[in-house]
Structure 1
Amino acid sequence: MLYQIISFLLEVATGLVGSACLLRLYMQYQRISFRNPVGNLVFALSDWLVLPLRRLVPAVGRWDLASVIAPFLLKLLQFFLLWLWAGGVAGVQAVPVLAVFGVVSMVITGLIGMLLIYSVLSWMQARSPLSDVLERLCAPLLQPVRRIVPPVGGFDLSALVLLVLLQVASIVMNYALPAVLVML
């Protein structure tokens, strides 16, 4: 029971900070201003980790590599601590693999959450700084789906289709992880 509690708390902490780092990366890539409540939150959660990493890892073009490495390091720390807590006898080679899968899972979960919030806010027609930022973040993801799936009865189903595809990707990840771990 204690292991599950510690695992859950580590997952929440790494998920929150790691997601903020990944959102920072995506907002920078989309050239979205950080002068809004979402940007302020992202900076508050990720500055302590990303800024020191930037001294070691330079950006490549529009890609802030420190914002990519930060979630990986968080997941690496999370799984290493859980490995130690479980006894740390064998299987340390699985820790980096678990960290990579953890980051990919974090990306999928973050996209699902972002699309759900975007969908709910689009139904309410509420104009706020949050809805404007979400519109700019979700539009590039939804454009390819909108080209394939036309509106049905005046309703845009592209977010629903993308959510289903992300869930399928999550299922594939959950089946791929044990297969990869067996090879180690």
Structure 2
Amino acid sequence: MANQSALGFLIDTVFNLYLMVVLLRIWMQLVKADFYNPLSQFVVKLTHPVVGPLRRVIPPLGNVDTASVLFAYVIACAKVALLLTVSGYAPDVQVIVVGAGITLLKQIFSMLFWILVIRAILSWVSQGYNPIEAALHQLTEPMLAPIRRVIPSIGGLDLSVVILLIGLQFLQVLIFQ
């Protein structure tokens, strides 16, 4: 039983990390992040071996790279199927399909949370230009700018990240309750 838990943890961690990279690729394309940023290059190099050939077959829908979205969904399906198998359950197609959707939503919320936290911490300690901070700025600014228009900085403190984090946590509780 302990070996199954350890294996389940390993499968969960590896799939979640790679799924975050694929979701980050989708997000970076949506916000048109700088392609030459080192973080962007890292994400593209990790995902291109699969997404590149898929893009030749699956066309994008507007700004959405459907090949990357499909790849993320397939990764989530594989994760759910493997976790079910390791836990001793027979993989059921319906459970895998629904579980993959839930997995994707949870990963999106988790990724948003951590990127906002990392951006907030970097804003306190960073001095000068930092390419990672620039990429995180490009990713989060479309969500933070509308909040700043409603609630400006108070005494030099930007509360938009805190407000967005609270809003995301509220949505997560509302959806997964």
* TM-score under structure 2 length normalisation: 0.89
In the alignment, what sits opposite 2:173? 171
What runs of 5+ residues in structure 2 fail to find an aligned partner?
A: none
- Looking at structure 2, the residues matched to 91 and 143 of structure 1 have their Cα atoms a distance apart, in angstroms, of 43
- Looking at structure 1, the residues matched to 43 and 141 of structure 2 have their Cα atoms a distance apart, in angstroms, of 20
Provide the aligned C-alpha RMSD in A. 1.8
In the alignment, what sits opposite 2:155? 153
Q: Is the contact made by 1:21 and 1:67 (CA closer than 8 Å) also made in structure 2?
A: yes
Matches within 5 A, 1:78-97: 78-89=79-90, 91-97=92-98
- Looking at structure 2, the residues matched to 12 and 140 of structure 1 have their Cα atoms a distance apart, in angstroms, of 29
Shift of 1:165: 1.4
Deviation string 1:135-170 (CA, Å, 9 cap, x unpaired) is 111110101221232322221100011111112222
Matches within 5 A, 1:1-184: 1-89=2-90, 91-126=92-127, 127-175=129-177
Q: Is the contact made by 1:83 and 1:92 (CA closer than 8 Å) also made in structure 2?
A: no
Instruction: Please tell me the residue identity of whatever aligns with 1:8.
Output: F
Distance 1:90 1:101, change over 3 A: closer
Q: Is the contact made by 1:114 and 1:134 (CA closer than 8 Å) also made in structure 2?
A: yes
Shift of 1:92: 4.2
- Looking at structure 2, the residues matched to 132 and 86 of structure 1 have their Cα atoms a distance apart, in angstroms, of 41
Paired residue total: 175
What runs of 5+ residues in structure 1 fail to find an aligned partner?
A: 176-184
Q: Is the contact made by 2:144 and 2:161 (CA closer than 8 Å) also made in structure 1?
A: yes
- Looking at structure 2, the residues matched to 92 and 171 of structure 1 have their Cα atoms a distance apart, in angstroms, of 26
- Looking at structure 2, the residues matched to 131 and 67 of structure 1 have their Cα atoms a distance apart, in angstroms, of 24
Q: Is the contact made by 2:22 and 2:43 (CA closer than 8 Å) also made in structure 1?
A: yes
Deviates more, 1:155-164 or 1:59-68: 59-68
Q: Is the contact made by 1:14 and 1:71 (CA closer than 8 Å) also made in structure 2?
A: no
Identity over the aligned pairs, expressed in percent? Answer: 31
* TM-score under structure 1 length normalisation: 0.86
Instruction: Please tell me the residue identity of whatever aligns with 1:153.
Output: G
